[in-house]
Chain A
Amino acid sequence: MRFARTPYIARKERTEAVARVVFALMAAAMVVPLVLIVGHLVYLAWPSLGWEFLVDVPRRGMTDGGIWPAFVGTLYLVGISLVVSAPIGVLAAVYLNEYAKDNWFNRVVHLAVINLAGVPSIVHALFGLGAFVYAARFGYSILSAALTLAIMTLPVIIASTREALASVPMAFREACWNVGATRWQTIRAVVLPNSISGILTGVILQVSRAAGETAPVMFTGAVFFKSVERGDLFPYGLRDQCMALSMHLYTLATQVPNVKESLPYATAVVLLASVLLVNAAAIALRVWLRGRKKW
């Protein structure tokens, strides 16, 4: 049955259509700049992009050459910060979701996690400087920088893990308690194994965040230039300073005169590509694991 199309209905349909278009445009306003920017960056980076660029070291006062020391430095920083923050983050999330009762203390804990996530990156840098470089006497080093990054990215792992833990239905836990299992036995046998996907997602996201941060490493252990062998996979020790991809981009963009034009663009592209690839992997993992759900 079709109702007659009165002017009133026609007007309603028109506003509906207009609203739809307006909101769609607003959504597009996010997508389009992204595409344009990425395209522009790649276009200007093109002359420098290539395998050589990745494994070669900076040459001629950093106006030419490659980014290897910065790339491997970022790998070190990210790897060490991951080793520190992943266990703490996962266990903290387990506490918050499985053990914490709803009292004032745990509300403070919850607030602390939220605030930790909101601390400006430069304040993290100041903290790292005061606590690790000076107070703990680690000095300007990969260790100080990685620890600073670990604390900075902790909320990412906590949030992802919590979400994964919360998605395990309560009925499973109750079934375990009914047969006399302790909280930890329940978590180990049922809750954690079924949260692995969320935990992995969190870990991957942490990696991408740590790789992209500049300020926290700039003042705690990353440097302008470090002499490293081409393609050397183990050039740094824990107490050494290192170059980092994020800081390298900043340096090339603001501190090096007469740099070859495509160089900073290529650095940006490599950094961006690495980060986006890692995030895409996290998204793909999430989608794949959702299909393999056990209930």
Chain B
Amino acid sequence: MSPENAPDPAPARRPQRPRWAVLGERAIEALIRLSGVSAILFVAAIFFFVLKEAAPVLVREDFSLGQFLFSTEWYPTSANNVRYGTLALTVGTLSVTALAMALAVPFGLGAAIYLSEFCAPRVRETLKVVIELLSAIPSVVWGFVGLTVMSKLIVTLTGAPVGVNVLNGGIILALMSVPVIVSIGEDALKAVPDSYREAGLALGATRWQLVYRVLLPAARNGLLAAVLLGVGRAVGETMAVLMATGHAVHIPQGILDSVRTLTANIAAELGEAPAGSDHYRVLFLTGTLLFLITFAVNLTADFVVRGIRRK
């Protein structure tokens, strides 16, 4: 055994890390932990600051929360009879979202099924890139499309007097939400183990039967989560609906009626409401309401997803 090969005897003193390195590491780890919990801080801060601006009007004697939530009369700038009822706006949000989901969910799930089960790998890669690009389009551009292209199209095809309405907003929102539904839906389908597919094929099922009878039920939770996240996106959308749904604050009678959503309303009126005024504070209150709605939707989606993970 030559000298270079002889293992060193256990040293009496092992090398030590310099003190500054140890302290530096502790500092970085503290920073990491702080950044980690910052998400909680930010969410709490958002809720706090929005509520803070709204709070003064909430505690006033003559302000009724019930009226705020359930009255359809929104007249914030009336000279002698100011009313803040958001129901029409809420219905506006719901109607546009519902229409958007009615369009986006079947197409989105269909595309997810196509990508996951039927499509060749090359085509899949291309389509996934397209979907990613689709989801990157800014909402103001979508709104612009709604205002110009879609509006003209609707007027030409349906003879409606005005092209910015529930239909317009619904289609635009559908196009915006589809990428979310497709990508999460595809993930959900991919998560179904191949053994299910193999078992089905061994029993002689066609791919369609496989999808319908085996995969959709198995991926149910993930697909539901995909839809919920799509809903969350649609409800929270601001600029696109601001430009595409029109200006009318009323409960729509049909899809060719103009409406206004909760989000768009804030954007439209915030600029004109003097800081600190009641109108301004009520708009912040609307913002708090929106925060709570999307919070609830996201929480539900997460619970649904957790349901799969526990299996």
Contacts and interface: CB of A to CB of B under 8 A. Distances in A.
B294 interface: yes
B236 A121 contact: yes
Nearest to A216: B238
30 contacts: A15-B209, A23-B110, A23-B111, A27-B114, A37-B145, A100-B36, A114-B298, A115-B43, A115-B299, A117-B298, A118-B298, A120-B291, A122-B238, A122-B266, A123-B236, A123-B291, A126-B49, A129-B53, A154-B39, A184-B28, A184-B29, A205-B136, A208-B136, A212-B139, A215-B239, A218-B271, A249-B141, A253-B148, A271-B141, A283-B132
A88 B266 contact: no
Interface residues of A, number: 88
A182 B25 contact: yes
A219 interface: yes
Contact of B140 (A118, A151, A155, A214): A214
A99 B32 CA distance: 9
B25 A135 contact: no
A214 B138 contact: yes
A165 B27 CA distance: 21
A250 B143 contact: yes
B33 interface: yes
Contact of B111 (A27, A37, A118, A208): A27
B39 A272 contact: no
Contacts of A265: 148
A111 B299 contact: yes
B56 interface: no
B141 A215 contact: no
A264 to B, nearest CB: 7
B263 A122 contact: yes
Contact of A119 (B31, B46, B275): B46
Please classify the interface of chain A as helix (H, G, I), strand (E, B), loop, or mixed, using the class held by over half of its residues: helix
A123 B206 contact: no
Interface string B111-132: 1011101110000000101111
Closest 8 A/B residue pairs (Cβ): A212-B138, A95-B36, A26-B110, A120-B236, A91-B35, A23-B114, A19-B208, A130-B49
Contact of A211 (B32, B53, B138, B267): B138
A130 B46 CA distance: 9
B38 A219 contact: no
A276 B175 CA distance: 16
A96 B37 CA distance: 9
Nearest to A213: B138
A108 B132 CA distance: 29
Given A27-B111, A272-B141, A120 B243 contact: no
Interface in B26-73: 28-29, 31-40, 42-43, 45-46, 49-50, 52-53
Interface in A180-225: 182-185, 205, 208-209, 211-215, 218-219
Contacts of B85: none
Interface in A84-124: 87-89, 91-92, 94-96, 99-100, 108-109, 111-124
Given A111-B302, A253-B144, A119 B137 contact: no
B211 A19 contact: yes
A6 B134 CA distance: 44
Nearest to B24: A184
A119 B208 CA distance: 38
